[in-house]
Structure 1
């Protein structure tokens, strides 16, 4: 199984970062604008639409406010397994360490999914740091 592990530091308050991540119905506005163009909640799932038009259904596995951890599983499409998690950690005064881990099968999908993760990481940094006035 391919595993994509990204960890970034954000000049943003962890509570603000968690607020954006945990607002699971507004990821296209609060977390990764430009990467996602829409998010629709459907019971215990959400459907996210990417800028290229691809729509993906994600089951909400865990939304743990105490641990600041969000886990989802994409269903359908070419992946036989796709599970991902975000976790938010304080890193000093008004800084956040964000960990995003994605596991996927078949391994060949690690490339294209990894590209989406990189686009997402860049959008998260741009969006969340800008909202706090950091550069």
Structure 2
């Protein structure tokens, strides 16, 4: 199983970053290149534009450690397994803002490079979106 980890600093404080992340039905405000999003209970459907639509199960939203997890259930990539965890962490010592840690476990491994590239684009979008709300 492939594991992809991205950890990055953002200008928003922990509370602001968490508020943006926990608004799971508005992920397209955080990752601005995403299309429309619908939320039906714990199922989030995201329009990925030219890539098609994905359906995710929101597995957990935990305010105390500021941790949210989801799993892709349907997608053009036909994952055998996909599980993702996003956490908001305190800033590095001496820094301001906060940090985001994003972990994705997936199968098949052959999709890891393509998914990592997409994550890198999402990271840049999140940095810009969270800088705009501070």
| Alpha-carbon contact 2:82-2:105 (below 8 Å) kept | yes
Q: What's the counterpart of residue 63 of structure 2?
A: 65
Equivalents in 1 of 2:9, 2:26: separation in Å? 22
Matches within 5 A, 1:51-62: 51-62=49-60
Equivalents in 1 of 2:114, 2:40: separation in Å? 26
- Shift, 1:94, TM fit: 4.0
1:19 equivalent to 2:19? Answer yes
- Tell me the SS of whatever aligns to 2:89: strand
Q: What's the counterpart of residue 100 of structure 2?
A: 98
Count of residues paired in the alignment: 130
Ranges of 4+ aligned residues in structure 1 off by more than 3 Å: none
> Structure 2: where are the runs of 5+ without partners?
none
| Alpha-carbon contact 1:14-1:94 (below 8 Å) kept | no
Q: Deviations over 1:35-63 (max 9, x none)?
A: x1111001211001113251100001110
> Structure 1: where are the runs of 5+ without partners?
none
| Alpha-carbon contact 1:32-1:127 (below 8 Å) kept | yes
- Shift, 1:66, TM fit: 1.1
Q: What's the counterpart of residue 40 of structure 2?
A: 42
Equivalents in 2 of 1:26, 1:37: separation in Å? 10
TM-score by length of 2: 0.91
- Tell me the SS of whatever aligns to 2:129: helix
TM-score by length of 1: 0.91
